[in-house]
Amino acid sequence: QPGVLGAWYLRVKLADGKVLATALVQQGGLSAQWRGVTGLEGGLVVAVGSAYDVSAAGNGQEAWVTLLDSDGKPLWAKLAGGAGNDVLHGVVLAGDVVVAAGVDEVPGTGLQGMLMRVGLDSGELVGATAIAKPKSQAMFHALGALPGGDLLLAGATDAGQPATTPPAWQGWLVRVK
């Protein structure tokens, strides 16, 4: 819809493309985008990405996790982050906790991998963890849950190269217990 910013939810019938539900989900007053999604029982959906938070320091792009019903109505939403751009890219359900991974931009320091945990029923922040080697930059683009409960995060790091060197990003996998 021209002139309206937010993240769109569409539920369509696979066989013929018929639209069954549509919703504009806004968080804050400006832009919002989803980058990762997982479906849950009962038609519920957890979507992650970033949204503009007018109360945030810096530019206001905060990591965003939201639980939607089958028609796209938000049941809860949670923003987290700091002064830089914070974006979530992947999401899984680990028991009764939504776990999302992405990137946390820290002004003056750079990029850190971000792991955010939110209670499924409450929408309350359970914890947020930054993961990066000292003096390095890192980000996560995807995650998965392994049998036994460990998480596997996929992303990139510059492995702590000197600031005078243009960063050469290297893929990395991080296993979290």
Q: For 59-72, b where at least 16 C-beta lie within 10 A, e where not — what string?
A: ebbbbbbbbbeeeb
pTM of the complete model beyond 0.85: yes
pLDDT for 4 equals 52
Give the 3-state secondary structure of 102-164.
Answer: EEEEECCCEEEEEEEEEECCCCCEEEEEEECCCCCCEEEEEEEECCCCCEEEEEEECCCCCCC
- More reliable by pLDDT, 172 or 3: 172
**What is the structure's pLDDT at 126?**
95
| pLDDT score of 85 more than 50 | yes
As a whole number, the mean pLDDT across the chain is 87
